[in-house]
Amino acid sequence: MLSLTPDTAAPEIVVEELMTGGGAVRLTGLFTADEVAEARAIIMRHSEADAAKVTHFQGAAEADGTLALQRRVWNLLAKGEVFSRMAAHSVLMAILRRFLGSEFIMGSIAANRILPGGPGQEPHIDYPYWDFHTPQTHPMGLNASFPMNAQVSVILDPFTEESGATAYVPGSQKELRYPTEDDRFFERCARMTGDPGDAVIFFGAAWHCAMPNRSDHDRNAVLIQYLPKWVKPMEDMPAALPADFVAAASDDMCQLLGLNYPYPEVLDVAEGGNTEGRA
C-alpha cells in the first residue's frame, strides 16, 4: 500500500493510486496523539453503554452469536467536536475535492470497535455499491470508471495483521462487482496496517473486509464515507444532529452535511424563476 505523509499527499498522486493503482493510500500521522485519545475515549464510552446497533457484513457473526464482539457507534458528529475536525481535515478535503468533485458530501461517520476475539466481515464493497450482489437492482452498465465513494479509516488502535487490520485486494476497484468465493479473496489480499493517528483512504469499490481480531487489545477506527453531492447519503446526519450544531456549522461542514445541495426539493412551492443552467 502506498504510504504518504500529510506533506507529500498531493491530491493528484493519491487520486491516481485510488483509481488506477492499488486502490488505497495510507496517510501517516494525520492526527495527533491527543486527537486519537479523545476520539477513542468517546467511542469506548458509547460502545460500552449503548445497546446493540445496526451493523453490516456480519451475517456469520450473527449466526455464531459473536456479534457483540463488534460494536458500532453512529452519529459521531454529535458526540464530540474532534470528529468534525477529522471529517473536515484539510488534507482529506483537498484529496476528496479532486476525487469526488468540489461539492462532495459525507454519507456517514461512525466508529467500528472490534474486541479481542471479534470475528471478521464478509468481503464486500461499500455504499452505494454495497448491495451489488444483486446487480439487477442497479442501472445497467454501472462501472468504476468514475467514483461514487471514498472511504477513510482513521486508525485509533494499532492496525496489525494480528489485530485484524482491514484486508483488501489491490486493484480490485477497477472492475465494479461484488467479490465471490471464486475470487479467492483471502489468498490474494493485502492489509491496511497502520499506527494510531494514521488514516487510510480508499475507493470503496475495492474488495475489502475487517479481519478477525486475534490480539489482546481492541481494534478501534473512525470510518468516514464520502460521496458525490448527488448520491443519497447512508446516514441522515442533519436530522440526527442538534439544531445548534447545524446552525453553527462551518462552510466545509455545511458542504459535508449536504446543506448546500437543495435536492430533493418541493418545486411546486419553491421561489419562482430560472435556477439552473449556465446563464
Query: Is residue 273 in some structural domain?
Result: no
Number of domains present in the structure of the chain: 1
Is 92 a member of any domain?
Answer: yes
- The answer to whether residue 41 sits within a structural domain is yes
* pLDDT tens-place string over residues 216-228: 999 999 999 999 9
Q: What is the pLDDT of residues 189-225, one digit of tens each?
A: 999 999 999 999 999 999 999 999 999 999 999 999 9
Q: How far apart are alpha carbons 254 and 259 in whole angstroms? A: 5
> 238 near 246, Cβ under 8 Å?
yes
pLDDT in tens, 6-19: 999 999 999 999 99
Q: What's the whole-number mean pLDDT along residues 154-174?
A: 97
Partners of residue 113 on adjacent β-strands: 71, 220
Domain membership of residue 263 (yes or no) is no
Place of cell 481535515: 89
Domain with residue 200: its CATH number is: 2.60.120.620
Nine-digit cell at 16?
A: 491516481
**pLDDT > 90 fraction of the chain, expressed in percent and rounded:** 83
What's the pTM?
0.93
Structural domain range at position 73: 2-256
